[in-house]
């Protein structure tokens, strides 16, 4: 199978190109969009399989132990969650659960490397204690709920802008890096 012989870098580059094409697409409901979306999800899932096969992220490591060019791969579950939420049709509850699982794995990874702020780490801890009833906003006070949503939306927008800048910088600096993560089959080739 072609995907098993590709490096993580090649698969991730393809997934990123596909994701950026999806994000710039104006038509988000047609079958063509959904086909491209599913192909992109599949490519990110391939990236996830490769990172697991090569044990790229280990609970025994600290953030400083991760190669700088590999930091971008921390985002794979985040991108998967974001893409899964764009799916239409099918069982909406199952789609939401799948997206939540990807977000949870992303946050677990960040938490394991102490990358969450103290406040976000506390929120994540509350979430893990009771994921089905967790809420960051009051369920009884509509004004408080709206205020929380607005504040989180602004935070999300800021983080996405920072992420885009960091991703661009990472692409610039890793394009010329002699190090790349390869799949297990590729590492045995002569």
pLDDT digits (tens, 9 = 90+) for 144-159: 777 777 877 787 777 7
Which residue range is the domain that position 162 belongs to? 2-187
What is the biggest distance separating any 2 CA atoms in the chain, rounded to whole angstroms? 64
Distance, CA of 186 to CA of 190 (rounded, Å): 9
DSSP classification of residue 68: G
Query: If you average pLDDT over every residue of the chain, what do you get?
Result: 82
Give the count of domains, the chain.
Answer: 1
Distance between CA atoms of residues 18 and 144, nearest Å: 38
Q: Which pLDDT value is given to residue 174?
A: 56
- pLDDT tens-digit series, residues 18-29: 999 999 988 877
Residue 60 — very low, low, confident or very high, per pLDDT cuts 50/70/90?
Answer: confident
Report CA-CA distances (Å) from 144 to 113, 118, 134, 140, 147.
32, 22, 16, 9, 5
H helices of the chain, in order, are: 2-5, 8-23, 31-53, 76-84, 92-112, 118-129, 142-174, 184-187
What is this structure's pTM? 0.73
Give the domain CATH number at 59.
1.25.40.540
């Amino acid at each position: 199978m072609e995907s098993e012989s590709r490096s993580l870098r090649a698969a991730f580059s393809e997934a990123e190109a596909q994701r950026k094409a999806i994000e710039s697409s104006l038509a988000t409901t047609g079958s063509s969009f959904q086909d491209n979306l599913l192909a992109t999800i599949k490519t990110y899932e391939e990236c996830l399989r490769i990172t697991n096969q090569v044990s790229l992220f280990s609970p025994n490591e600290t953030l400083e132990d991760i190669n700088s060019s590999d930091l971008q791969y921390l985002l794979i579950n985040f991108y998967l969650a974001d893409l899964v939420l764009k799916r239409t049709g099918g069982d909406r509850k199952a789609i939401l659960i799948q997206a939540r699982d990807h977000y949870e794995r992303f946050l677990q990874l960040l938490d394991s490397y102490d990358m969450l702020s103290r406040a976000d780490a506390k929120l994540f801890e509350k979430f893990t204690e009771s994921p089905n009833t967790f809420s960051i906003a009051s369920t009884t006070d509509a004004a408080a709920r709206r205020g929380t949503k607005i504040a989180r939306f602004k935070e999300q927008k800021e983080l996405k802008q920072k992420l885009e800048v960091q991703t661009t910088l990472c692409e610039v600096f890793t394009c010329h890096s002699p190090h790349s993560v390869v799949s297990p089959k590729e590492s045995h080739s002569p």
